[in-house]
A and B are shown apart, each in its own frame.
Chain A
Amino acid sequence: GIQVEQSPPDLILQEGANSTLRCNFSDSVNNLQWFHQNPWGQLINLFYIPSGTKQNGRLSATTVATERYSLLYISSSQTTDSGVYFCAVDGAGANSKLTFGKGITLSVRP
């Protein structure tokens, strides 16, 4: 099946710093989503981005489907950005079956 690798596994930032989180995937995808898992366990949608670039406030994401990677950018980080960020993909023909990476644990210090 499709493989998803996220890097770095852990990231520690000072409040106000910028960061880039990376997701590599091994095959063509119909769907790529970035999630932030809150302390209570819920996966919060950040972006649906199988290709192209999107921005939402301080967050933006870019997926280069031909090169099989996606990047999540966080600018001017805040302590509330702390948590685990997951990239998940839905391979061709998989229909709503997401394969997740292991996640990136982000800690933003005041």
Chain B
Amino acid sequence: KAGVTQTPRYLIKTRGQQVTLSCSPISGHRSVSWYQQTPGQGLQFLFEYFSETQRNKGNFPGRFSGRQFSNSRSEMNVSTLELGDSALYLCASSLGGTGNTIYFGEGSWLTVV
């Protein structure tokens, strides 16, 4: 059974640009969530999608957005990139019910220069 797949793994962008990251969840999982990891702030929840609807949202500016498709694949977008957006972006999937185990992908390393 394939795990959570994230693409691209590594990318470098310039300030002001935008970026789109992709996540394919484990087959059968309907919940996809995104996290940002930085040395200063640690692991922070961005948002969660379940059956194409945003169900939870963290405390990030509107430049961070996401969506989920009917096949449960998800994308997150960051517009008008800032240096502080440099981070490891982790995607996770689960069945989506209360108390389900959550599985993470390998992450996408974003560097903003």
The answer to whether A and B assemble together is yes
A: contact size bracket: 20 to 34
Q: Which of B31, B45, B99, B102 contacts A50 (CB 8 A)?
A: B99
Question: Do the beta carbons of A31 and B99 come within 8 Å of each other?
Answer: yes
Q: Which of A30, A48, A94, A96 contacts B50 (CB 8 A)?
A: A96
B94 within 8 A of A: yes
Number of interface residues, chain B, beta carbon within 8 A: 30
- Alpha-carbon separation in the docked complex, A74 to B96 (Å): 30
Contact with A along B82-110 (1 / 0, CB 8 A): 00000010101010111111111111010
Residues of B within 8 A of A103 (CB): 42
**Listed A/B pairs (17) with beta-carbon separation below 8 Å:** A31-B102, A33-B102, A35-B104, A40-B107, A41-B37, A41-B88, A41-B90, A41-B109, A43-B92, A45-B103, A45-B104, A50-B99, A86-B43, A95-B97, A96-B48, A98-B33, A98-B92
Residues on B facing A (Cβ under 8 Å): 31, 33, 35, 37, 42-45, 48, 50, 55-56, 58, 88, 90, 92, 94, 96-107, 109
The 9 closest A-B pairs by CB, nearest first: A100-B43, A43-B104, A30-B99, A48-B101, A41-B107, A42-B106, A97-B56, A96-B31, A31-B99
